[in-house]
Amino acid sequence: MRIRRLEVWVVPMRVREPYAIAYEIVEDATNVFLRLETDRFVGYGCAAPDAHVTGETVESVERILRETVEPRVVGENLFRWGLILEDLRLRLREHSSARAALDMALLDLFGKSCGVPIWQLLGGYRDSIETSVTVGILPEAETVHAARKFVARGFRCLKLKGGLDVDDDVSRVLRVREALGAGVELRFDANQGYTFDDTVRFVDGARKADLELIEQPTAASETALLGRVTTAVDLPVMADESLKTTLDAFRLAEGELVDLVNVKVMKVGGLAVALQIDAVARIGGIQTMVGCFDESEVGIAAGLAFALARPNVAYADLDGHLDLIGDPAAGSLRLRDGVLLAPTAPGLGVAVDEA
């Protein structure tokens, strides 16, 4: 089955409620969509470039998909998708979300050609997974209000953002715990905003909040410091920005530097690499969380397929689609009381409005 055509288009989307993290305020998200066509099926992918994490721009992703990917894939046998990805690996090395878009479009086609959902082709370990939902950096009263709203919608796991002020962060997480009681899981993400001493002080101060984990408290470039934090605190520590490649996963596991890793399909360059990283993590005794950027349900569906497929995936943070206005794949995924349910349609299980 040959790939006959490739199309690329850009979709600007707005975030319904802008939010703050340690290093930026997020008000909008622009995704680059990819469409692959055979004589029988159409496969979709999307890229969510993030200058802070992937180093890409919308323009660079659009250009490399047209100029590098299109000449390589058009006319190629779909069932040699592994060869296609490997052949483009080095040329797309600095374009992880572009690689992710190609990876998911190929797998979407592959699943449709087999008549099977991707989450089953990759392992089919579970058919649903709970997702956390993110509360950005807000004043204390607004943080509690946002948390209560999410719980009222059925979510039972919240990720609270911080990293700008330790004392303020401690106060906010304690207030949220007091407001919600013990029936809701709370996670905390400092987005590289802390020093070693800050992290220790936060963990000590927030102890009564009974947090489930702390994510990337220190700078991504200082993995040894992250290891010091893991040794010093009694709260599970997760790497996010410190993990972009399989080699990163190996170094984190070999040095016993973290307890958990956050694997984002856009960040690592697709499902094929995500599976490799998860395998390394599992060998090293590290559990995986599947995360996301602000991305279309096409991208979230790829992350969900990974989360449902593999037994080492213990957590999901797949909420990046929930607040987007203008997503052409909106309504494709099923969410019930904070739990994402497995798609039943072949491939990624998404429908994309190209109008």
What's the confidence (pLDDT) of residue 24?
75
Is 161 one of the annotated active-site residues of the chain? Answer: yes
Q: What pLDDT shows up at residue 22? A: 76
Question: Is pLDDT of 355 > 80?
Answer: no
Check: CB of residue 265 under 8 Å from CB of residue 306. Answer: yes
Model pLDDT, residue 243: 97
If pLDDT is split at 50, 70 and 90, which confidence band does 19 have? Answer: confident
DSSP assignments along 302-341, one per residue? HHHHHHHH-TTEEEE---TTTTEES-TTTT-SEEETTEEE
Asked if residue 49 has pLDDT above 90, the reply is: yes
Give the global pTM: 0.96
CA 81 to CA 183: how far, in whole Å?
A: 44
Cα 342 to Cα 301, 311, 314, 349, distances in angstroms: 9, 15, 16, 9
Residue 92 has pLDDT above 80, yes or no: yes
- Checking if the pLDDT of 98 tops 80, the result is yes
What's the pLDDT at 187? 98
CATH among 3.40.50.880, 3.40.47.10, 3.20.20.120, 3.40.50.720 for 119-341: 3.20.20.120
The residue annotated as part of the active site, out of 159, 161, 244, 267, is: 161
Q: What share of the chain is helix, strand, coil (3-state, %, to 5)?
A: 40, 25, 35
| Through-space distance between the first and last CA atoms of the chain, rounded to whole angstroms | 27
Coil/strand/helix, residue 16: strand
pLDDT band at 30 (very low <50, low <70, confident <90, very high): very high
Tens digits of residue pLDDT in 151-165? 999 999 999 999 999
State whether CATH 3.90.600.10 applies to domain 5-115.
no
The secondary structure of residue 77, as a DSSP letter, is B
Q: What pLDDT sits at residue 52? A: 87
Whether 148 shows a pLDDT value over 80: the answer reads yes
Strand partners, 325: 14
Helix (H) or strand (E) holding 173, with range, is helix 166-180
pLDDT at 20: 77
pLDDT one-digit tens code per residue, 64-77: 999 999 999 999 99
> Could you give the angle at the alpha carbon of 89 between the alpha carbons of 307 and 38, nearest 5°?
75
pLDDT for the residue numbered 232: 98
pLDDT digits (tens, 9 = 90+) for 305-343: 999 999 999 999 999 999 999 999 999 999 999 999 999
CA distance to 21, 101, 202, 242, 282, per residue, from 196 (Å): 19, 36, 10, 15, 27
What would the pLDDT profile of 54-67 be if each residue is shown by its tens digit? Answer: 999 999 999 999 99
Q: Of 112, 159, 244, 264, which one is the catalytic site residue? A: 264
Higher-pLDDT residue of 19 and 204 is: 204
Same fold, 5-115 and 119-341: no
State residue 354's pLDDT score. Answer: 87
- Residue 192 and residue 262: Cα distance in Å, rounded? 14
Sequence ranges of the domains in the chain: 5-115, 119-341
Average pLDDT taken over every residue of the chain = 97
pLDDT band for position 273 (50/70/90)?
very high
Q: Give the whole-number percent of the chain exceeding pLDDT 90.
A: 95
Percent of the chain with pLDDT over 70: 100
Residue 318 is predicted with a pLDDT of: 98
Lowest-confidence region among 9-13, 25-29, 145-149: 25-29
- Residue 87 CA to residue 255 CA, distance in Å, equals 31
Helix 196-205 with 166-180: angle, nearest 10 deg: 30
Q: What is the pLDDT of residue 21?
A: 84
244 is an active site residue: no
Neighbours of 67 (CB within 10 A): 9
